Structure 1
Amino acid sequence: MIRAEQRGPILRLTLQNPPANALSLALMEFLQSELDAVRSDETIRVIVIAADGKLFSAGHDLKQMTSHRGDADHGKAYFEDVFAVCSRLMQSIVDHPKPVIAEVDGLAAAAGCQLVASCDLAFASERSRFAVNGLDIGLFCTTPAVALTRIVNRKQAMEMLLTGDAIDAVTAKEIGLLNRVVPTESLTSVVTECASLIATKSALAVKLGKAAVQKQSAMGLAEAYQHASRTMVENMLSHDAAEGIAAFLDKRKPTEPSNDRPGETRDIPD
C-alpha cells in the first residue's frame, strides 16, 4: 500500500493503492505512521511523497466509505474517523520537522489535491491535473479547502471548489499550488536534485525555520517579528550557525558530519 525507500538523507514514500491511489483509512494510517516514525530520525533530512500509476490520488476511498452507510448510525462514526485521521495527517505534514515534497505525476483530486497543498514543496509533470471536485457528487470539498485556501488566492480556490473543474499543471503553478512543472521523464530526477540540495543544509536551521514560518503565518505583524526574532537567536546560538558563519568569514567550507548511509527499502503490507 505504501513503499518506503531511504536513499541517503531522503525518504521516499510512494502511494500504491491502484487504480486510483485512493486515500483509504488504512493508507492514511500507514502514511501517518511512517511520518511519525521519522520525526526524530537524524539520518533523514527530506521526505518525498509520490505515487505509482496514472493517478497521484483521486481522494478518499468512496467505495469504502459508502459500504458503511449500512451501519446503525448510517456511517456517521466511520465518516468522523476518516476525516479525523485525514485532518491529523495533513496537519502532521505541515508541522513535520522535515521538509515534505509532493512529486505529482497524474491527477490529484479532492483529498489528493489536499495532500499536495499540504506539502512544503510540490513538483508536477506536464500531464498532471488538479481538482477539488466533490460537488460533482454532491459533496463540497470542505476539508481540502482548508489546505487549498492557505496556499492559493481565495477566489481561485473558490472557483476550483465551486466548479469542480480540473486545472492543468501550468495553471496550478501560476496560482501557487506548485513550485515547478517539468517533463514527465525528468520529474523524479528534478525532485531528487531539489531534495538533495535541501539535505545539504543545516538540519537544525531547516527544522527551526519551517516551524517558525508555519507559526508566524497565523500571527499579527508585531507578534510574528517577535517570534521570528526569538527563533533567529536560538538558531544563532547553535553549533551549525556558529560553524557556518565562521566558515563563511574564513572563506572555507563548513565542517559537518555526514549522515549518508546505504539505501534501504521496505514494503508495508496491505
Structure 2
Amino acid sequence: MKILERHDENAVCHLHMNAPERLNALSEEMLEALQTQIESLQTDPSVRVVVISGAGKAFCAGHDLKQMTAGRQAEDGGKAYFKDLFDRCTSVMTGLQRLPQPVIAQVHGIATAAGCQLVASCDMAVAAEGTRFGVNGVNIGLFCSTPMVALSRNIPRKQAFEMLVTGQFIDAHRAEALGLVNKVVPAGDLADATQEIAHLVASKLGAAVKIGKQAFYEQAQMGLDDAYAHTGQVMVENMLYRDTEEGIAAFLEKRPPDWSQ
C-alpha cells in the first residue's frame, strides 16, 4: 500500500494521501512522496490540474509528532533534524505554488497545523461540511510559525493571528467566509464538487493557465506599478500564442476553439 496514491484521468492528477491510521500526517515518508510527485508534475504536460485528498476520517493532521519526538534523541536535541524537516515541508508547500498546474485541496474531517498549511498552499480548496481547520500547535507549546506563512497569505491578518495564538478551530463555513476555502459542500458531494471545478479548469488552454498562475503569485509580491508592468508583459506574451489567437477567433466566429494543446 502506497502512502501517496496517484491516479490520472482526463488531464486531472489525483494525489491521495493514504495514511489514515496517522490522519495523513506529514511524516518524513509523506513529505518525500509529495516532493517526488511535485517534481514529476513540473514536467508533465498531460496533467492540467492536480487534486490533493486524504484517506480515512481526516484530510491531514499536520506533522507526525511521534517522529518529531524521536528526532529529539540526537546529540543536538533534534536541532538538525527539525531544520531538515521544516525545510522539506517548506519545499513541498512552495513547490505546489510553483507547479504550472492549478492545485485543488479536497478537504474533509480536519486540517490542522501543517495540514491547514497544506490547504492554504493549494491554489483552491473545496471542503466538506463539518470540516474543521486549525493552526493549533500553540496548544502543545509549538507556535505554528511555518503554517503561519501560508495562512496569513490566505485570510485577513487579525483572523490569522487569532487562530495562531488561541489554537482554536474554525468550521468550514467560517473558512469559506475568510477565504481559506472556495466552496463548502455536503460531505457526500465533496468528490463530485471538486471534480467539477477540476474539469472546468482542465478545459481551458493549458498554456494560458500556466503563464497566468505564475504571474498571479509573482505580482502578489510586487508594488502596484511593478505588478501592472509585469502582468502587462505577461499578457503580451500570452496574446502571441497561436492558440490564444485561435481562441479569440473562435469566440468571434461563435465556434469551439481548435486548440493544439
Say yes or no: TM over 0.5.
yes
Cα deviation 1:198-257 (Å, max 9, x = unaligned): 001000000000000100001010100000000000000001211001111112110125
Could you say which residue in structure 2 is the equivalent of 1:51?
A: 54
SS at match of 1:136: helix
Residue in structure 2 matching 1:15, options 17, 21, 39: 17
Residue type at the aligned position of 1:43? S
Structure 1 stretches of at least 4 aligned residues deviating more than 6 Å after TM superposition = none
2:115 and 2:242 map into 1 onto residues whose CA distance is 39
Asked if 1:215 corresponds to 2:218, the answer is yes
Residue in structure 2 matching 1:36, options 29, 34, 39: 39
Asked if 1:107 corresponds to 2:110, the answer is yes
Asked if 1:72 corresponds to 2:70, the answer is no
Residue type at the aligned position of 1:82? L
1:183 and 1:146 map into 2 onto residues whose CA distance is 29
1:216 and 1:256 map into 2 onto residues whose CA distance is 28
Could you say which residue in structure 2 is the equivalent of 1:116?
A: 119
Shift of 1:39: 1.3
* Residue identity (%): 50
Shift of 1:18: 2.4
- Single out whichever of 32-41 and 151-160 deviates more from structure 2: 32-41
The total of aligned residue pairs comes to 258
SS at match of 1:55: coil
Q: Is the 8 A contact 2:100 2:210 kept in 1?
A: yes
SS at match of 1:70: coil
SS at match of 2:20: coil
- Select the structure with the greater relative contact order (CA < 8 A; seq sep ≥ 6): 1
CA RMSD after TM alignment: 0.9
TM-score (norm 1): 0.94
1:135 and 1:51 map into 2 onto residues whose CA distance is 24
Residue type at the aligned position of 2:12? I
Could you say which residue in structure 2 is the equivalent of 1:227?
A: 230
Structure 1 gap segments, 5+ residues each: 259-270
Cα deviation 1:28-71 (Å, max 9, x = unaligned): 11101101102121111000000001111110001001011111
Shift of 1:96: 1.1
Could you say which residue in structure 1 is the equivalent of 2:88?
A: 85
Could you say which residue in structure 1 is the equivalent of 2:97?
A: 94
Could you say which residue in structure 1 is the equivalent of 2:66?
A: 63
Could you say which residue in structure 1 is the equivalent of 2:181?
A: 178
Shift of 1:140: 0.2
Could you say which residue in structure 2 is the equivalent of 1:166?
A: 169
Residue type at the aligned position of 1:158? F
1:31 and 1:17 map into 2 onto residues whose CA distance is 13
1:62 and 1:33 map into 2 onto residues whose CA distance is 22
2:5 and 2:254 map into 1 onto residues whose CA distance is 42
Could you say which residue in structure 1 is the equivalent of 2:159?
A: 156
